[in-house]
Amino acid sequence: MYQQLRTTALATPRAAAMFAHVEDAAPETLAELLAAAGSGSRSRPGCVPSCSRRSRSPCVPTPTVPAPPATPDKAAGGAQHVAALWAALEERYLNGRYDGTGRPDSLRHVPGPRPVLLTAPHAVTHIRDGARKPADMTTGGLAETLAELTGCIALTCDGTPTRDPNYDPDGPFKSRLDTLLPGTTAVLDLHGMQDTWGPDVCLARGLHPAGSADLLEVCRRELTASGFTVSVGDPYDANTPHTVTSYCQRAGVPAVELELARRIRNPWDQPETSARLLAALQNALIAAGG
């Protein structure tokens, strides 16, 4: 199953390049990692139930990131293909049972020509108030997959953050945001919530939601049209100063936090649902990018 998914995913040049780092890994290690994050989903570590609380510092304008050629989504070729791509791109994060492949505080930046930013600050295990918090699994691979399919930009953590990007007022992730936000037209901050909260997706509005109403509505409309249940501001609203959403809004960039139930972000066991989520978010990103 894994080899099949991998072969399919390697059809895209970016995925092939990213896969290079696991080519030499022992098969049993790969199998173990995939077992931890794949079909044994009920035994996997849980996602962080809350991702919000406070923020500060203004952003410093910097040159925009050079854009490579766009990667259109049209030829994605069905649910199995895009789910396989998502599963493949998740490998960077699930290494070491979600300690990631980077050193502590390592960030992964995927540039793109479309000025919409996807963030996954909890893609790997992170530190909050001195305690390790489990990753929002598959959000790193989701951000990268959407970037691959739409040409948007992705920023994720691929090494354990020593400062929680969605909780602490500063740190490497927010410093990188400062360089990326000028010229960015919208930010979707991707997180994971437990299924028991109820909705498939919770849209969290942030502390300064006035300028983000249109973006939120686009997300709500596309997700609902694709058959997902969506709540707004319940159980999460990202309405503390240091959330990524509040931070971006304060810099003048529309932003929304998406809390995704675990059942809709499992590209290994639920490829059709995963593909449906990707399609809905692709539409939202394209609409948001103008």
Is the CB of 18 or the CB of 51 nearer to Zn ion? Answer: 51
Site map 61..100 versus Zn ion, x via CB under 5 A: ----------------------------------------
**CA nearest neighbour of 261 among 150, 176, 142, 132:** 142
Stretch in the footprint of Zn ion (CB under 5 A) among 51-59, 82-90, 194-202, 231-239 = 51-59
Residues 133-172 that bind Zn ion (CB under 5 A): 136
Q: Check residue 190 for interaction with Zn ion (CB under 5 A).
A: no
Q: Check residue 48 for interaction with Zn ion (CB under 5 A).
A: yes
Q: Check residue 128 for interaction with Zn ion (CB under 5 A).
A: no
Is the CB of 51 or the CB of 286 nearer to Zn ion? Answer: 51
**CA nearest neighbour of 56 among 138, 154, 169, 150:** 169
Is the CB of 90 or the CB of 136 nearer to Zn ion? Answer: 136
Is the CB of 30 or the CB of 105 nearer to Zn ion? Answer: 105
Size of the site for Zn ion (CB under 5 A): 5
**What residues have CB less than 8 Å from 80, skipping those under 6 apart?**
8, 271, 275
For residues 90 and 289, give the distance between their C-alpha atoms in angstroms, rounded to a whole number: 25
Contact 22, 30 (CB under 8 A): yes
- Exactly one of 15, 33, 37, 51 binds Zn ion (CB under 5 A); that residue is 51
Cβ at position 48, least distance to Zn ion in Å? 5
Q: What are residue 120's DSSP bridge partners?
A: 156
Cα-flanking dihedrals φ and ψ of residue 28, to 5°?
-65, -30
**CA nearest neighbour of 251 among 203, 190, 206, 202:** 206
- Binding region for Zn ion (CB under 5 A): 48, 51, 122, 136, 191
